[in-house]
């Protein structure tokens, strides 16, 4: 039974890998949306360009914020 229990360090390492995989997936999807944005501009489709441009920004913003959960505040923290 002890082999099935993960230590806190193992859980943090696993969490880090999962977050990194999600960030890479969001970045890849953002790059695909960036390509769609460029193709919409090339094809003179302004409505499609605006939508895919917004989606591109959303994916890159999400990629940046995933993993930034402010865990650097250890212990009690006051904003007085």
pLDDT digits (tens, 9 = 90+) for 37-78: 999 999 999 999 999 999 999 988 888 888 666 555 555 655
Residue 66 contacts by C-beta under 8 Å, 6 or more apart in sequence?
Answer: 19, 22, 23, 26
The size of the chain, in residues, is 80
Residue 79 belongs to some domain of the structure? no
Closest CA to 34 of 55, 7, 61, 15: 55
H runs (alpha helix) in the chain: 8-42, 46-65
Contact 68, 21 (CB under 8 A): no
Residue 74 belongs to some domain of the structure? no
Residue 60 belongs to some domain of the structure? yes
Count of domains observed in the chain: 1
pTM of the model: 0.67
Confidence of residue 23 (pLDDT cuts 50, 70, 90): confident
């Amino acid at each position: 039974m002890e082999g099935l229990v993960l230590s806190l360090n193992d859980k943090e390492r696993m969490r880090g890998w999962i977050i990194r995989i999600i960030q890479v997936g969001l970045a890849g999807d953002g790059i695909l949306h960036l390509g769609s944005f460029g193709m919409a501009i090339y094809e003179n489709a302004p409505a499609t360009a605006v939508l895919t441009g917004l989606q591109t920004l959303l994916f890159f913003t999400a990629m940046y914020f995933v993993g930034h959960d402010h865990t650097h505040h250890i212990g009690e923290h006051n904003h007085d």
